[in-house]
Amino acid sequence: MDRRRLIKTGVAASTVAAASPRITFAQTPEASPAAAAMATPVGEIDENGFYPSGDPAVPDAWTKMPEPFKATEGVPGKGGEVTALVMTYNQPPTPKDDNPYWQGLEERLGVTWNPILVPFASYGERAAAEIASGELPDFFYLNPGQTSTPLQRFVLEGAFLDITDYVTGDNLQQYPNLASFPDYMWETAMMNGRIFGVPTPDRRPGRVPGFRIDWSEQLIGKRPENADEAFEVFVAMSKNDPDGNDSDDTWGISKYGTGWDVGLFHQIFNVPPLWRVTDDGKFEVQYGLEEYRQAVEFMRNLYAEGAYHPDAAAMGFEEAQNLFRTGRTGLHNDGSPIYGQNGVLATLRQYQPDARVENLIPFGADGGQGITYHSAGTFGYTALPYSVTDEERIHELLSILDWFSSPFGSEEWLYKNFGEEGVHFNYNENGFPVGTDALDQQNAGLTGYMGGSIMVNWNADEPELAPLATDEMRAIYELGVDNPARNLYSPSMIENSGIMFQTVTDILNEIVVGRRDLDALDDLYEAWQSNGGEEAAREYEEAWAANQGE
């Protein structure tokens, strides 16, 4: 709930120079009334509570709720039925007959909205079965990063409509909200230079871990600024009882899943995000690099000194999150922003009222600047089936996606995310909408990740924190580097990534916990290469060269 409230979403972005290799995206600074506020200088909050970031990749902030405005014209639908394959993280919504939110949504969309909600963990299988049947729903959500079944293949095989001509140039003007999407978003929905879907906006600045600054100040007198200080502080968090309860119940780092680096240690040592491309177009995977060896050695030493929680090797996200939120670990990479209401800080203060948390922006191992990894900027995209050929139907479907993508503060945004005032939400004392239980039950992932508003920062409980979040995201973004392979296609990577990453993870775990020595990194690199990594690098190099050639 908290995460949803804070993260959702957007205001029209500013103009971006169209820089895509093949396609020119039309950008419309007048896309929404909020764009008028663009006159506000960066770094200042205007009388409407608008705090511009000055960069389309960095979310703006609002300290007040803007007056609701219409972001689309008329009703997008023409009265028919629209089916959608929707990936859901939620419990199922109340059935339509008893669900005023659903009924109201249909009224506003002008269609009968029939989503096929598929739990995220099995989305790939259901999607593959749907494609095999040849009868695709009108909206088909694709998210290569979230499904184990490789779905990009089907895009190449022609299961989906090439919508490039409809969402570029003058045609894009019919969809003002989609027109406000920056290039980097559209690029994630491209395959071989053509656009196959409408992207779902997400944050572009990467995620950095939250950090107990109060413990750090108490233990080493400051925030760590190089690798040695970081080492000292995380070991001290485990050994020197920072919570002062005379009990050995604190640890430096709570780690979950595969990420021993917690979004920090790779970045300190300047390890690239999986791939790095050299000046002559060679793709190098991080596992073979000296920087990676240094980072792993650092993490191995941290583990040996007890800085990681002893269960770290097998810990899941929830456990790691609980450790941090109950004040027992000092570093944790949490999906929920530090500044969110009911977020990390709010929970932590129930256990340790004086706790202070900051996001730890990576510094360089030698005390210089670190790097951050950019997020993709989108969370999948929505494709239309190849079989839709009727121009009017295509226009209707894109108009619905445009409606879903209405910016923060618009009437459409308000209804999509919060429903009807008094039923699904109420305004709080700061003038921001706060959802009720009815909202949770009725709008439970009903529209999934179809389209979406560009992200903005806002905080219903403590509005003044939103500009801080924007400033921080700007700082994160400025240090950011991209994975050069992010929008490139490698069949080997798609087919073999499961075994490739599993082998790497297994060997890495053994190295970090000290069961194998550091030289096992050679085996790790070897395993990656032979399991398909070498081929993937070659495929990326070809794709990269093809892009550069244009």
Q: Which residues in this chain contact another protein in the complex, by CB under 8 A? A: 1-4, 7-9, 88-95, 114-122, 125-126, 128-129, 132-133, 135, 145-146, 200-203, 206-207, 209, 256-259, 263, 316-319, 321-323, 325-326, 328, 333, 335-336, 350, 373, 375-376, 379, 441, 449, 452, 455
CB of 97 or CB of 550, closer to another protein: 97
CB 213 to another protein: min, Å? 19
CB of 155 or CB of 348, closer to another protein: 348
CB 471 to another protein: min, Å? 20
Q: How far apart are CA 147 and CA 243, in angstroms?
A: 41
Q: How far apart are CA 289 and CA 272, in angstroms?
A: 9
Q: What are phi and psi of 298, to 5 degrees?
A: -60, -45
Q: How far apart are CA 459 and CA 472, in angstroms?
A: 15
CB of 448 or CB of 463, closer to another protein: 448
CB 30 to another protein: min, Å? 26
CB 20 to another protein: min, Å? 23
Bridge partners (DSSP) listed for residue 227: none
CB of 133 or CB of 389, closer to another protein: 133
Q: How far apart are CA 224 and CA 231, in angstroms?
A: 9
Q: How far apart are CA 74 and CA 54, in angstroms?
A: 31
CB 41 to another protein: min, Å? 28
Question: Cβ(201)–Cβ(455) under 8 Å?
Answer: yes
CB 40 to another protein: min, Å? 25
CB of 3 or CB of 239, closer to another protein: 3
**455: which DSSP letter?**
P
**325: which DSSP letter?**
H
> Sign of dihedral through CA atoms 246, 248, 252, 255?
negative
CB of 81 or CB of 228, closer to another protein: 81
Residue closest to 108 by CA, chosen among 521, 391, 413: 413
Query: Alpha carbon of 172 to those of 123, 396, 484: distances in Å?
Result: 30, 13, 28
CB 302 to another protein: min, Å? 18
CA angle 257, 319, 7 (to 5 degrees): 80
CB of 37 or CB of 230, closer to another protein: 230
Query: Alpha carbon of 201 to those of 12, 67, 123, 184: distances in Å?
Result: 12, 23, 20, 10
CB of 187 or CB of 202, closer to another protein: 202
CB 497 to another protein: min, Å? 13
